A = this chain, B = another copy of it.
Amino acid sequence: MMTLRENTINSKRIYEGRIISLRVDTVELPDKKYSTREIIEHPGAAVVVPITDEGKIIMVKQFRKPVEDFLIEVPAGKLDKGEEPLLCAHRELKEETGYSSGNMQHLFTFFSSPGFANETMHLFIARDLTVGEAIPDEDEYIEIESYELNQLIHMIFNGQIKDAKSIIAIFAVKQFLQSTSDR
């Protein structure tokens, strides 16, 4: 497989932004021809599924400018520079929902859009929740809602949940809770 790796011949920085940056790499293909790859650089994120003792999932609703829509999502946020994903998960859960978790567990890590971005997402399940006050970022306007897990599965198939990381989080937690209760 090593021969199919794309070696970088040239890398051109296009934009350095507040959250994302863009570069265009010229790469050498296995047949020795050249092609270009447009690459978004993103700091990565922690994604949290908070579950109350009653089995309800805490979701956040916010406006997403790129898709001009209000989306229902699981709490999540960007890693600060050098921040551990676990610490980020605790911080974002607190900031967006006010909840603290006494039992934060990593499920798995994935790439949101590996065709054009390097964003890495670390998925956590948060249990043993204690309620507190939310402290969102200055430019974040968030509503908090809670749902049954099976209701969220239904909302994926009928198009009410449209955010990829949230769809992954909901399916993963359902699978995880099923497999741990089967033991």
Cα separation A5 to B68 with both chains bound (whole Å): 8
Residues on A lying within 8 angstroms of B by beta carbon are 1, 4-6, 14-15, 17-20, 22, 24-25, 27, 29-30, 33, 35-40, 42, 63-67, 69-71, 107-121, 138-139, 141, 153, 156-159, 161-165, 167-168, 171-172, 174-176
Cα separation A18 to B164 with both chains bound (whole Å): 24
Contact at A164–B5, with CB atoms within 8 Å?
no
Contact at B40–A116, with CB atoms within 8 Å?
yes
Contact at B35–A163, with CB atoms within 8 Å?
no
Contact at A38–B24, with CB atoms within 8 Å?
no
- Chain B residues with Cβ under 8 A from A66's Cβ? 37, 39-40, 111, 113-118
Contact at B115–A159, with CB atoms within 8 Å?
no
Contact at B139–A35, with CB atoms within 8 Å?
yes
- Chain B residues with Cβ under 8 A from A164's Cβ? 110-114, 121, 164-165, 168
Contact at A63–B6, with CB atoms within 8 Å?
yes
Contact at B115–A64, with CB atoms within 8 Å?
yes
Given A63-B4, A168-B171, residue A156 in contact with residue B38 (CB < 8 A): no
- Chain B residues with Cβ under 8 A from A138's Cβ? 33
Closest-by-CB residue of B relative to A67 is B114
Contact at B4–A109, with CB atoms within 8 Å?
no
Contact at A118–B67, with CB atoms within 8 Å?
yes
- Chain B residues with Cβ under 8 A from A29's Cβ? 139, 141
Cα separation A159 to B65 with both chains bound (whole Å): 31
Contact at A65–B40, with CB atoms within 8 Å?
no
- Chain B residues with Cβ under 8 A from A116's Cβ? 19-20, 40, 42, 66
Contact at B20–A40, with CB atoms within 8 Å?
yes
